[in-house]
Amino acid sequence: MQYDLVVIGSGPGGYVGAIRASQLGLKVAVVEKAELGGVCLNWGCIPTKSLLKSAAVFEYIKHAEEYGIKIEGESKADFEAMVKRSRDVADGMSKGIQFLFKKNKIDIINGTGKLKDKQTVEVKKEDGSTENVSAKHIMLATGARSRELPNLPQDGEKVIGYRKALTLKKQPESMIVVGSGAIGSEFAYFYSSIGTKVTLVEYLPNIVPLEDEEVSKQLARSFKKANINVMVSSEVLSVDTGGNKVKAIIKTKKGEETLEADIVLSAVGIAPNLEGIGLEEVGVEVEKGKIKVDEFYRTSVEGVYAIGDIVPGQALAHVASAEAITCVEKIAGQNPQPIDYNNIPGCTYTSPEVASVGMTEAAAKEAGYELKIGKFPFSASGKASAAGHKDGFVKLLFDAKYGELLGAHLIGANVTEMVAELVVARKLEITGHELIKSIHPHPTISEAIMEAAAAAYGEVIHI
């Protein structure tokens, strides 16, 4: 069959692009070698949030008396049941993609896709047979995998990546998490909350190092309060898996230190899946380990496109989805706006949660802006006090000259649900005063956004 578009990969970029293309009248097929929904849905965003929800419920139970509720007997975390629930949630979402494909008349071709030429995808099936699929346009959406460091090789048993961390057979008594980005910090929080002794090792001076420094320091305080051992400016030199436990030699400012744990989780980033998809054979240009594309995700080969973790830009599910939609709308003859990569929200689902968009304070100062900075602590929020979640704050950065919102940095309960307001505000170029005069409902956590804006201009009421 001749298709208008064949997509290799069905993650949050691939499946979203396929559905949007079908909505626009294109005949679409998706090539997928594993589960529909890709890593995010099956092995990343969704199952981790399921585990984190179990952790949050367990935390509530442990602190039930603070809310006037007495629970008889000791509550215990059932690790196997938590893992099973997360797998069930992921499986249900994957089945949802199957339904959406059927609804949108998208063909699913099971197997490993590879470019044969600019209009042909060769699909290798599980039984070793191959099938050639023709298309006017081909979109590469092959995603990424856990990155391995030479000094931290993963054996899948004692040194693991994020996929294995989602499906361990039993809860480890102790764990060393290497890397404090979103993946590392979320797993550190989850395992610690259910009783695993966790050490979080970060090479840079602050955990969640891409975030504003004040947010990083607040999360480190919250982690230490939760009995997570946080080691910054530290590097894992080597691991020894020969004994019953893993021995990790860690270089710190004070010298070398040896730590022992049941498991070492390597969360040092991701590597794009570029191998074996025919880039070299067809002549698709790669630069600095990513496929080179223009603002509409056209590669150096006419008719071949690439989106998501394999192209430059933030490696986030919502970015891949937005790129895919922009790409297929351009293919279909529409006139989409290029994505503004300076207005991409980032979220980390620890406790407290972290969310941000735009410049950090350090980046804004380095760019030469004179700033008005407003900060509102959740300790002054009535809703946060009532909910028992007073840790954290909202911090907003405004250009003193024009009132433009340059950056927003939030840490606290449910802030990942709040940051979208600030993304829209930046998109619409709302000023600080317009944000102050936008009435926020009381009592809500979101009032802290209005209050932080007011703090920047000396008009804050509640602190």
Residue 393 near residue 411, CB atoms below 8 Å: yes
Q: Is 180 annotated as a binding residue?
A: yes
Is 322 strand, coil or helix?
Answer: helix
Residues 389, 409, 440, 442: which is the catalytic one? Answer: 442
Q: What is the CA radius of gyration of the chain?
A: 24
Residue 178 near residue 236, CB atoms below 8 Å: yes
Q: Is 407 annotated as a binding residue?
A: no
Q: Is 277 annotated as a binding residue?
A: no
Q: Is 181 annotated as a binding residue?
A: yes
Longest dimension (CA), the chain: 70
The H or E element that residue 246 is part of is strand 246-252
Count of beta carbons in the 10 Å neighbourhood of residue 246: 22
Could you give the CA distance from residue 402 to residue 259 in angstroms, rounded to a whole number?
A: 51
Annotated catalytic residue 442? yes
The token pair at 212 is: 């504003």
Q: Is 458 annotated as a binding residue?
A: no
Q: Is 379 annotated as a binding residue?
A: no
Q: Is 116 annotated as a binding residue?
A: no
C-alpha distances out from residue 152 to 36, 197, 250, Å:
30, 20, 12
Q: Is 202 annotated as a binding residue?
A: yes
Q: Which of 281, 274, 317, 16 is nearest to 140 (CA)?
A: 274
Q: Is 449 annotated as a binding residue?
A: no
**Strand 112-117 vs strand 120-124: parallel, antiparallel, or unpaired?**
antiparallel
Q: Is 182 annotated as a binding residue?
A: yes
**Strand 2-8 vs strand 130-140: parallel, antiparallel, or unpaired?**
parallel
Residue 455 near residue 394, CB atoms below 8 Å: no
Q: Is 391 annotated as a binding residue?
A: no
Residues assigned a catalytic role: 442
Q: Which residues are annotated as a binding site?
A: 49, 113, 179-186, 202, 269, 309
Q: Which residues are annotated as a binding site for NAD(+)?
A: 179-186, 202, 269
Q: Which residues are annotated as a binding site for FAD?
A: 49, 113, 309
